[in-house]
């Protein structure tokens, strides 16, 4: 009887590992020039071998994702470009510049259609700022944590329906820079109080609280909601994976940390375009928040002690929780176990900061 019970449990676990493998056995560190070959899905006749590799603590993710602690691989500039589904997604670059002002200008020029650096965007990604726009001035004021950017008159030549994406991409790109948490927009020598086409109001300084890739949970209104930012994954046409941040409006909550993790378990609203990083059976255990450190316990019977945990799972959780301004590091426990290793062969037994998991596109 025990043998039958154990066999059923093992098959269930293997099935869930297979589901997660299907989601996560793709590269999340991509090539900016698009020169790296796609990773094909495993043939059916080797599926069990792949699952056995996961069971035997082999790495579940192949490719050239950024190595934590490798200073040469860490990006110093991140832009938010539009993918083939219309989502904005972060693309990290290692860029030579003498100052943050130069970095900020280069980042925005990457986002200008047909601009000086637009060709450096990966395949399947598009610029968001209208063609012909010039960044006439960009000044970063560290003491105010403020970036002031002025665009030429061509900036207004976008479609009304694209206005929010244009604004989101600028704000999230500039707030990726050190010492920048707020953005102020100017055009032709005039400070903007509203966007020039659809009149989206710009109330003083903009920040990441504006949201990105905004969506609403069922039955939730803008007036009575709590925003949470979640990181899922998506695939390029050639099968390369990348992170996508989603700001989801949910029912009002007094516990945004638990709410964030619960929404990650719930998964994307559009599963045809985005993939989950936590399974539906994941339970949220104890959460502790002290200073800028949050410690979370994820409970999932899929993982046994000693199993390697998908690094994309850990990174997506860290990216999601550190979008909150009061969180700088995340300690992830799995089934109460602190000493865990990722499928990238990195040790995640210590708290992880955002800068250690920011996605990078090598090229």
Per residue in 9-65, pLDDT tens? Answer: 444 454 455 445 444 434 344 434 332 322 233 333 333 333 343 343 333 322 222
Tell me, yes or no, whether 302 lies in a domain. no
Tell me, yes or no, whether 306 lies in a domain. no
Name the band, by pLDDT with cuts 50, 70 and 90, for residue 223.
Answer: confident
Are 144 and 178 in contact, with CB atoms under 8 Å apart? no
| Position 229 pLDDT exceeds 60 | yes
State residue 22 phi and psi, 5-degree precision. -60, -30
Query: What is the domain count for the chain?
Result: 1
pLDDT tens-digit map of 134-192: 999 999 999 999 999 999 999 999 999 999 999 999 999 999 999 999 999 999 999 99
| Position 360 pLDDT exceeds 80 | no
**Cα separations (Å) of 146 from 98, 178, 325?**
19, 10, 15
**Cα separations (Å) of 50 from 20, 22, 276, 277, 284?**
12, 10, 20, 19, 28
Tell me, yes or no, whether 181 lies in a domain. yes
Tell me, yes or no, whether 152 lies in a domain. yes
Q: What is the pLDDT of residue 361?
A: 55
The whole-angstrom separation of Cα 329 and Cα 341 is: 17
Helices (H), 226-360: 256-266, 311-321
Collect all residues with Cβ–Cβ distance below 8 Å to 89 and sequence separation of at least 6: 80, 81, 83, 125, 234, 242, 243, 244, 245
Give the H or E element holding residue 72.
Answer: none
Greater confidence (294 vs 23) lies with: 294
Tell me, yes or no, whether 352 lies in a domain. no
Tell me, yes or no, whether 71 lies in a domain. no
Q: What is the pLDDT of residue 44?
A: 34
Tell me, yes or no, whether 98 lies in a domain. yes
The whole-angstrom separation of Cα 155 and Cα 166 is: 10
Q: What is the pLDDT of residue 305?
A: 86
Name the band, by pLDDT with cuts 50, 70 and 90, for residue 221.
Answer: confident
Tell me, yes or no, whether 197 lies in a domain. yes
pLDDT tens-digit map of 72-107: 457 889 999 999 999 999 999 989 889 999 999 999
Q: Which domain holds residue 139?
A: 88-210
State residue 330 phi and psi, 5-degree precision. -130, 130
């Amino acid at each position: 009887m025990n043998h039958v019970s154990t066999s059923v449990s093992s098959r269930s676990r293997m099935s869930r590992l297979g589901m997660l493998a299907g989601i996560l056995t793709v590269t999340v560190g991509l090539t900016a020039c698009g020169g790296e070959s796609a990773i094909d899905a495993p043939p059916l006749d080797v599926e069990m071998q792949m699952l056995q590799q996961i069971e035997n603590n082999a790495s579940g993710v192949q490719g050239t994702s950024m190595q934590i602690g490798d200073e040469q691989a860490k990006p110093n500039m991140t832009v938010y470009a539009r993918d083939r589904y219309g989502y904005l997604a972060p693309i990290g670059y290692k860029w030579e510049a003498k100052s943050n002002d130069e970095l900020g200008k280069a980042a925005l020029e990457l986002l200008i259609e047909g601009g000086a650096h637009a060709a450096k965007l990966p395949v399947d990604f598009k610029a968001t700022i209208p063609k012909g726009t010039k960044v006439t001035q960009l000044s970063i004021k560290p003491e105010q944590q403020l970036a002031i950017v002025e665009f030429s008159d061509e900036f207004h030549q976008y479609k009304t329906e694209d206005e929010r994406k244009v604004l989101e991409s600028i704000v999230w790109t500039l707030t990726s820079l050190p010492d920048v948490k707020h953005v102020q927009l100017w055009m032709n020598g005039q400070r903007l109080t509203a966007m020039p086409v659809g009149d989206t109001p710009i109330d003083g300084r903009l920040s990441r609280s504006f949201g990105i890739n905004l969506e609403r949970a069922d039955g939730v209104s803008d007036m009575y909601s709590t925003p949470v930012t979640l990181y899922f994954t998506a695939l390029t046409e050639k099968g390369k994976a990348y992170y996508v941040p989603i700001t989801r409006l949910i029912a009002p909550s007094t516990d945004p940390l638990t709410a964030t993790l619960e929404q990650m378990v719930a998964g994307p609203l559009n599963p045809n375009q985005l993939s989950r990083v936590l399974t539906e059976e994941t339970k949220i255990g104890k959460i502790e928040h002290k200073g800028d450190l949050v410690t979370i316990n994820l409970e999932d019977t899929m993982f046994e002690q000693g199993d390697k945990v998908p690094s994309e799972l850990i990174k997506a959780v860290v990216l999601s929780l550190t979008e909150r301004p009061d969180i700088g590091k995340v300690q992830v426990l799995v089934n109460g176990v602190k000493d865990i290793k990722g499928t990238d062969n990195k040790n995640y037994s210590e708290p992880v900061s955002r800068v250690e998991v920011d996605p990078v596109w090598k090229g």
